[in-house]
Structure 1
Amino acid sequence: MSGKWFGSVPVKAFNGVHGIGTVGMVSRMSIILDSTHTDPCEDHTVLSDTWRSTSCQWKECVSKEKCDKNLPTGWYRFKSSGGWKIPEFRVAPGHCSTSYPGWLEGSHPTLEQGEVKQTVCFNWDGNLCGWKREIKIKNCSSYFVYELKPTPGCNAAYCTDPNSALTDTCVDHTVLNQPWKSSDCTGTECVGELQCDKDLVYGWYRFNSSGGWKIPEFRAEVRHCSTGSPGWLEDPNSALTDPCVDHTVLNQPWRSSDCTGTECVGQVQCDRDLVYGWYRFNSSGGWKIPETAVPVRRCSTRRPGWLEGSHPTLEQGEVNRTVCFNWKENLCRWKREIKIKNCGSYFVYELKPTPGCNAAYCTVADLSVADPCVNHTVLDQPWRSAECNGTVCSTRKCDNKLNHGWYRFKSSGGWKIPETPIPEGHCSTHRSGWLNGSHPTLEQGVVTRTVCLSWKGKLCHRLHQIKIKNCSHYIVYELKSLQDCDAYCTDPKTAQVQGYPEGFTRQVDKEVSSSVGVAPTSGIIPSPTHEEEPSRQSSDQSSSVPDGTPTSGRIPSPTHGEVSSGQSSDQSSSDPDGTPTSGKSTTGECGGQSDQSPTAQAGSLIPGFLSLSEEDCEAMDVEVQVMYVGNNKLETDEQKAAYIRQVQDMLRPYLPCKKLELTNSQGEKTAQNE
């Protein structure tokens, strides 16, 4: 008969006579045991593991991943704040504090159905039911019991649905009787060592000690509550809870969907350890998570995260969205539920750690809010000049650690990448990078071009794709790190003179520097703007620029008709566009110097001046030349000569030492300052 067990045991009969026992006979008796007397609703094991909740992702609720591989076969009941039932919906990998979460492929039985057979699926390797376990379920009226078996392996575990928790948290909770949690406890004064809740098990708790019964609603000071970083309760009506105000900025260009493999950063990246919270992306690599699928091994990771859906409008405000992680031809192999809020000019995201390594959230550039003509980094590095052969200008330089982003070259070494081949060993590097093509016009906007790297006689030994944008008065480049010791070059002929059309290039910065001890300028002579008289004592000065660009590497321009002192001074100031400037200049009266510099007028081409002492004038044995290179479309020799005379007239009052020679494009001398 089904459900019954048959067995036999020996029985010894006694025949007592006058208290003396004798063995009368030995026989066997059959006993029938009916297993139906064991009701699993009464005879089961309770599993009170809160980490089984589908809300627990990876190690969010525990210190390490969980596994039911060693779970003994038997009847179990789930009972915790993490849930009372196995979920009837598909669960993504990495949830329930395990890699391969188990969910019910079917529904729970009604009370009338009683005990039924069902299948638990384990989501594995992109297969929602990669592994299976046949189980039994019984409806016990107010709860369910499950006959479970060990999982197929690690890390796989049975999940629970937190929405099924029937527990009254006012009754079912854990009491924390720890006086050291008091906000009055500073450092280790209340306990022997600093405390930490890192290993606190996810669940409901009640504080009940002399240290207090409630979490404070005010900002707790650092190193109070017997810990380094005390927790306090934010006012839900406070502006601090607005994620548009209270968020963390991620300035990481390597997240760009254009970054393949490790080309933008030294190693593959991962967001597994990203702290749960609100974030804003703000870098040259992008300001938004892309709304289209990103190929694998992009965004400097193997499993790139992209947004399955669209960003909210300003009217929609905060919305729920899903981020998919692409892997092995499955565009949404892993998922993360996130929140997004439109803050008007940018978006903020409530992000969680990624399902594992190597997976990371991607970004894509939004040119409407990230114009590279505005948002870029200035490279003031004269050593990039194509004229710098070997280590003449500097030690060997490399761009293998250059962060991916938009850049502008602005130095005496040049403002543009050369459009003609540069031999290896130039630009202070081994493999010299030059542009195999032309720069875009203003109308073309952003274009894609190829940078060639010269090596071992091959002018295009290596190739790199970059983006370029014409910003009218200058060019910006979207650059990525290069391999080994390679570097991007600049064309020294493109170092512009501020106040003049492109094409006037100072030729003798190095000679001036070596002769009189004046730091070389960048080919830019800043214009005076207003009068200012500095002191005659040496001083270190610094001034800010409108865009916050650091200042370094140039002779400061006088402002408001600045009258210079007779002693040396270290100064740093800024160009009108925020380009860094710095340097050392020795100043004073020098034959024929006008007492007061002319006032700048709108539209006029008035340079700054280099004021030298008489001693410096005697020591200076060079010719200052300005060469016209024909870039401002003056057609006839008469027009060119007239233009050069105009420049010579402007420069004469400012560079009176020795002589000022001007040459035309044929090298012919045109005028000389007396």
Structure 2
Amino acid sequence: MFPRFRIILPLKVLIISNFCDAFDPCLVGNFNFLLKPGLRGGNCHLQPGKVVCDRFIDDGWYKVLHEDDIKPRKMLEGIVSPSYCGTSFPIWLNGSHPNTVDGIVNRTACMVGVNSFCDVEYDIQIKACAANDYVYNLQKAKTCNAGYCFGVNLPCAKPNPCEPENSKLINVEDDRSTSCKDKSLSLCDNILSNEWYRIQKNDIDLKMPTTCVEQNSCGTVSPIWLNGSEPTLPEKVVSRKACVSNDNACGCIKFYNIEIRNCSTFLVYNLTSTSSCPERFCFGTDGECRSKTNGLTDEKEDFQKYIYGSVAAISILLIFVSIAVYIWYRKSLRLRSISTESKFPQCKESKNGENEIFKD
């Protein structure tokens, strides 16, 4: 029994040793992604309500990659001013990054504090998985409003327009489709605000046509269509030209610069108001023209209705108030008259020439 026990024990030690040597933090599954990567840039000033706090992260290996980043972000080397990197007390790398041949290295990270640029030190580890591709073994911060800095000279990342709170959902009618051809319609997007839009009709997502649209379509005289391809998912946000169909037909003499983002199951469009009328963005290919529309153009109509309704309500209220004041005034006069009569009774002349008090 004893010889067998002596053989098994070294094998267990050998297996454990080989497992430790084989652990590679660069492999998928051996690291996590740090939260709020878009706010960790060196030029991202602290934003109210969006403070980076690494007090509650788990100790372990991390990569930092924002959705619009091509490669993972690199930790900042050197001193960082307070209230940058999206936090009150930034944590920066007091040292240099390793090369791929160095393997896992030990480094010190400093937290900017009230007294100095290195009030608190953290022991961390770094490994270079490839050129400009690193993983970091980080410790949780000892206080909140303290966070690790990633992204040299990077500003705060723009909000993801695919998230509902960062884009405006618009439900449109059939008259925005390319099949709506009515020369009597001259709707316009001149009051359109410059922001991200998700376009739907009956809860179904619509797309901007990618081929030339003839005039007097989409409920307007000069329809606007996409001159270019739709972005793929890896492309993220792309810039495109939106052409205006005018007398030059498909020549794209006039166009608007817009942005498009692929959100996997739908597209969002960063649109702008038109510089002249009647020009309108097209969405969808099916549907019949309608005399009344809603959606992007109806924002102005809804506002006008609100104003007109408010003025009408105020006018009616003033009329009622005037009537009430008039009634109160008449009643006050009557009461005053009665009071005067009670104090000074009317008299009439008697047969003998003397005045008598007039009684009802």
TM-score (norm. length: structure 2): 0.43
The one of the two structures with greater contact order (alpha-carbon pairs below 8 A, sep at least 6) is 2
TM-score (norm. length: structure 1): 0.25
Higher normalized helix content (fraction of residues): 2
